[in-house]
Amino acid sequence: GVNPITNKRVFKQETIRDCLSIMSSSGMYDYSGKFQFSIGFPCKSGVAGTLLVVIPNVVGICTWSPRLDKLGNSARGVEFCHRLSQRFSVHMFDSLPGVLEADEDEELQEGKKNFKDCEYKRKRKLVLRKGENAEMSLANLAYAASRGDIREVMRLVSFGVDINQCDYDGRTALHLAASEGQLEIVNYLCKLGADVNKADRWGGTPLTDAKAYAHMKVYEELSKYANIMIN
């Protein structure tokens, strides 16, 4: 409810909340339900071809393309929203940490999906959590990785923290996880594309750190990813 140019409040927070709720539930005519299911952010269409898109706490976007689909929404505007949702994590449930996408041939055990061998998928994130800057998030990621706090690591990853970013010693979260023998963290970061061969200021890599501290299971796991990167 704050004007981004004048920085003055125009509407009450309650008004914005109610408005976004209506936009989410019925802003796209008969397409509203499917729009929220597949795209997942507040949007209001107009018969003149306009779409008002809101990514809460991030950005407001207005599109205009007069050609309408059979439901009375801008055809190109809806396509823009689809592509936006595919490229960035703007769906209201995309930012939940720990969301995984399993392979098609995964087995079901007692009605629950077995995620043991599934691939971790993620989209590009638009923002970090409010109040978290890049430096703070890097420090939090490094600490969580060294402690084996998988939930915190996944949360930070879901908000777009660069897993290959390093501290002043050139050490990444994977360096610290390997040094502390945190196998689950190592496996998770490697599946996301963490650099196994990245050297710190002393020339040490996650692979050599795991070997130096006698974490042989971690060393074996890192060796697999190192070979994949080489090949």
Asked whether 95 and 112 are in contact (CB, 8 A), the reply is no
Q: How large is the angle between the packed helices 183-191 and 216-230, nearest 10 degrees?
A: 10
Mean pLDDT for all residues in the chain: 83
Give the pTM: 0.47
pLDDT at 135 over 70: no
For residue 129, count other CB atoms closer than 10 A to its CB.
15
Which pLDDT value is given to residue 125? 52
How does residue 229 score in pLDDT terms, banded at 50, 70 and 90?
Answer: low
Segment 146-155, tens digit of pLDDT: 999 998 898 8
Q: Is residue 2 part of a domain?
A: no
Question: What does the block give as tokens for 144?
Answer: 């969580």
- Are 83 and 113 in the same domain? no
Written as one letter, the residue type at 85 is S
Is residue 191 domain-resident?
yes
Please report the pLDDT score of residue 159 as a whole number.
75
Same domain, 130 and 183: yes
Residues of 192-231 as b/e, b for ≥16 C-beta within 10 angstroms? Answer: bebbbebebeeebbbbbbbbeeebeebbebbeebbeeeee
Q: Tell me whether residue 8 is in a domain.
A: no
- Determine the structural domain holding residue 76 and report its residue range: 13-87
**Residue 66 and residue 171 in one domain:** no
Residue 59 has pLDDT above 50, yes or no: yes
161: pLDDT confidence band, cut at 50, 70 and 90?
confident
Res. 98: pLDDT tops 80: no
- Lowest-confidence segment of 30-34, 102-106, 196-200 by average pLDDT: 102-106
Tokens linked to 76:
């190109």
142 — pLDDT class (breaks 50, 70, 90): very high
Confidence of residue 68 (pLDDT cuts 50, 70, 90): very high
Q: Are residues 61 and 27 in the same domain?
A: yes
Asked whether residue 7 is domain-assigned, the answer is no
Q: Same domain, yes or no, for 142 and 198? A: yes
Q: Tell me how many domains the chain contains.
A: 2
Report which of 73, 78, 70, 1 is spatially closest to residue 41, judged by C-alpha positions: 78
Q: What is the pLDDT of residue 93?
A: 82
Question: Within this chain, do residues 114 and 183 fall inside the same structural domain, yes or no?
Answer: yes
The CATH code of the domain that includes 191 is: 1.25.40.20
pLDDT at position 156 is 85
**pLDDT digit string, tens, across residues 162-176:** 999 999 899 999 999
Does any domain span residue 192? Answer: yes
Mean pLDDT of 133-144: 81
Of 100 and 49, the structure prediction assigns the larger pLDDT to 49
pLDDT band of 4, cuts 50, 70, 90 = confident
Q: Provide CB contacts within 8 A for 79, sequence distance 6+.
A: none
Question: In angstroms, how far is the first alpha carbon of the chain from the final one?
Answer: 53
